[in-house]
Amino acid sequence: MRIIDARVIVSCPGRNFVTLKIETESGVYGVGDATLNGREMAVVSYLTEHVVPQLIGRDASRISDLWEYLYKGAYWRRGPVTMTAIAAVDTALWDIKGKVAGLPVYQLLGGRARDGVTVYGHANAAGFDGLLSEISGYADLGYRAVRIQTGIPGLSSTYGVSKDRMFYEPADAALPTENVWSTARYLNHIPTVFQQVRAEFGPDLKLLHDVHHRLTPIEAARLGKSLEPYDLTWMEDPVPAELQEGFRLIRQHTTTPIAVGEVFNTIWDCQQLITEQLIDYIRATVVHAGGITHLRRIFDLAALYHVRSGSHGATDLSPVCMAAALHVDVSIPNFGLQEYMRHTPETDEVFPHAYHFEDGYLFPGEEPGLGVDIDEEKAARYPYRPASLPVNRLEDGTVHSW
Ligand code: GCO
Ligand code: MG
């Protein structure tokens, strides 16, 4: 089954998405997400200039071979642009394989290991009252797990607190806006928030928090310790993870579980974190970590070391990525949690999909392949708009992790 065409579709139904569509001689086609937030056009160029010409004429059924061909063949290994491009090809080929087999992709991955995929939503608000009503809103929708982000007194803006409630969107300007950060103010404030939230919602609701790489290991250790009484499901991205051994220090001081991985591209980014059992959840994704093929390799390694999956699922990962993630989530033994930020109605219209939310779970649906498509006519109504993620500075002007 030869590949006869592959094209890259860029659309902005509220935010930018890059989609690869691969067509075969039999008429069966597949889709893959290739969105890299704020750097979309780099992946578009990598795909159109370098990958698409190499795909034409190849056998679409040889997923592993094509993965190795693109990874080893490029010579220049890893990196977000390369691995997002490879992910898009890999995802589209799994979609094709499922359609050809007449089976949802999760059946090809071993079948269901659970009934539904537990997801968490994002409650975020500048102040405490707003936060409580956001959390209640998610609980009313049936969510069993909620990530909590809030404003910090004395800071004019904070990561995770958006203008639009349900549809959190940080890439909000053509050129980066700037945020101001104070670790001291943050560390003093956050435990008081979790104390009140736990008191209000009781022990059953799973609570999560995203630190967004802003602390040093010893600061993260202090935060983890101070949050222990409030029983967090995880503390996410406590420090930048380039220095994997840095997590040892956090681990030595706190039993608050640790999640990391949304910016990881390959198994090498988390090899030490996993094998030394320095984390509890690995949050790599289909779209940024080399597709279904490579993400499964990461999750299989993690399973040996008591590490569970917790895939990134922010709004900048398209419904194509979400569909692919759900087929993986439902079939692996060591699934933990799946992030699920809802897409806007415009996005859902451009990407019709079979997955659905019910009672706190997502279900991948039973359509052959991934069960997601792109409506190219509708996609064409929303042209690309440059959008960047913000930059973060300390109060003295020093650039800090965002
Ligand atoms: C998350 C993430 C997002 C990212 C965004 C960047 O946990 O969902 O941290 O909010 O900031 O996906 O593109
Ligand atoms: Mg995050």
Query: What are the DSSP calls for 10-22, one per residue?
Result: EE-SSS-EEEEEE
pLDDT at 44 over 80: yes
The pLDDT assigned to 160 comes to: 82
The answer to whether residue 373 sits within a structural domain is: no
If asked whether residues 95 and 159 sit together in one domain, one would say no
The continuous run of DSSP H or E covering 308 comes out as strand 308-309
Which of 157, 262, 281 maximizes ligand 1 atoms within 8 Å of its Cβ, making it the mutation to test the pocket?
262
If asked whether residues 243 and 339 sit together in one domain, one would say yes
Please tell me the distance between residue 100's alpha carbon and the centre of ligand 1 in angstroms.
34
* Owner of token pair 């630190």: 211
* Nearest alpha carbon to residue 342 among 206, 162, 94: 162
The pLDDT assigned to 337 comes to: 98
If asked whether residues 154 and 232 sit together in one domain, one would say yes
Please tell me the distance between residue 159's alpha carbon and the centre of ligand 1 in angstroms.
9
The answer to whether residue 231 sits within a structural domain is: yes
The answer to whether residue 389 sits within a structural domain is: no
pLDDT digits (tens, 9 = 90+) for 13-37: 999 999 999 999 999 999 999 999 9
pLDDT at 1 over 90: yes
* Nearest alpha carbon to residue 271 among 254, 239, 294: 294
Q: What is the arithmetic mean of pLDDT over 320-324?
A: 98
Structure tokens given for 94:
């799994």
Catalytic residue among 106, 159, 168, 230: 159
If asked whether residues 150 and 298 sit together in one domain, one would say yes
Ligand nearest to the CA of 161: 1
- CB-CB contact of 346 with 382 (8 Å): yes
Q: What is the arithmetic mean of pLDDT over 101-127?
A: 97
Q: What is the CATH number of the domain that holds 333?
A: 3.20.20.120
pLDDT digits (tens, 9 = 90+) for 383-395: 999 999 999 999 9
Q: What is the arithmetic mean of pLDDT over 163-186?
A: 87
CA dist list (Å): 98 to 61, 181, 238, 291: 10, 46, 38, 15
Please tell me the distance between residue 170's alpha carbon and the centre of ligand 1 in angstroms.
8
Q: Is 343 a catalytic residue?
A: no
Band of the pLDDT at 223, cuts 50, 70, 90?
very high
If asked whether residues 288 and 250 sit together in one domain, one would say yes
Q: What is the CATH number of the domain that holds 22?
A: 3.30.390.10
Given 104, 130, 151, the domain boundary residue is 104
pLDDT at 396 over 90: yes
40: Cβ below 6 Å to ligand 1?
no
The answer to whether residue 147 sits within a structural domain is: yes
| CA-nearest residue, atom 12 of ligand 1 | 314
The answer to whether residue 79 sits within a structural domain is: yes
If asked whether residues 99 and 207 sit together in one domain, one would say no
Q: Domain range holding 300?
A: 108-366
The pLDDT assigned to 157 comes to: 84
Band of the pLDDT at 168, cuts 50, 70, 90?
confident
If asked whether residues 115 and 87 sit together in one domain, one would say no
Given 84, 104, 124, the domain boundary residue is 104
* Nearest alpha carbon to residue 158 among 174, 177, 180, 175: 180
Band of the pLDDT at 126, cuts 50, 70, 90?
very high
Band of the pLDDT at 158, cuts 50, 70, 90?
confident
If asked whether residues 236 and 347 sit together in one domain, one would say yes
**CA atoms of 194 and 182, how far apart (whole Å):** 19
pLDDT digits (tens, 9 = 90+) for 177-188: 999 999 999 999
Q: What is the arithmetic mean of pLDDT over 66-93?
A: 98
Given 104, 132, 165, the domain boundary residue is 104
Q: What is the arithmetic mean of pLDDT over 28-49?
A: 98
pLDDT at 352 over 80: yes
Domain count of the fold of the chain: 2
Percent with pLDDT over 90 in the chain: 96
If asked whether residues 28 and 145 sit together in one domain, one would say no
Please tell me the distance between residue 106's alpha carbon and the centre of ligand 1 in angstroms.
26
Q: What is the arithmetic mean of pLDDT over 154-170?
A: 78
The answer to whether residue 165 sits within a structural domain is: yes
pLDDT digits (tens, 9 = 90+) for 296-318: 999 999 999 999 999 999 999 99
121: Cβ below 6 Å to ligand 1?
no
Ligand nearest to the CA of 341: 1
Structure tokens given for 392:
């973060």
The pLDDT assigned to 249 comes to: 98
Q: What is the arithmetic mean of pLDDT over 263-274?
A: 98
The answer to whether residue 384 sits within a structural domain is: no
The pLDDT assigned to 311 comes to: 96
The answer to whether residue 383 sits within a structural domain is: no
If asked whether residues 287 and 168 sit together in one domain, one would say yes
Band of the pLDDT at 165, cuts 50, 70, 90?
low
310: Cβ below 6 Å to ligand 1?
no
The pLDDT assigned to 164 comes to: 63
The pLDDT assigned to 161 comes to: 84
pLDDT at 334 over 80: yes
If asked whether residues 174 and 313 sit together in one domain, one would say yes
What burial letters (b/e) apply to 254-265, b meaning 16+ CB within 10 Å? bebbbbbbbbbb
| CA-nearest residue, atom 1 of ligand 1 | 314
Q: DSSP secondary structure string, 330-385?
A: HH-TTB--EE-PPPPHHHHHHS-BS-EEETTEEE--SSSBTSB---HHHHTTS---
Band of the pLDDT at 273, cuts 50, 70, 90?
very high
If asked whether residues 250 and 324 sit together in one domain, one would say yes
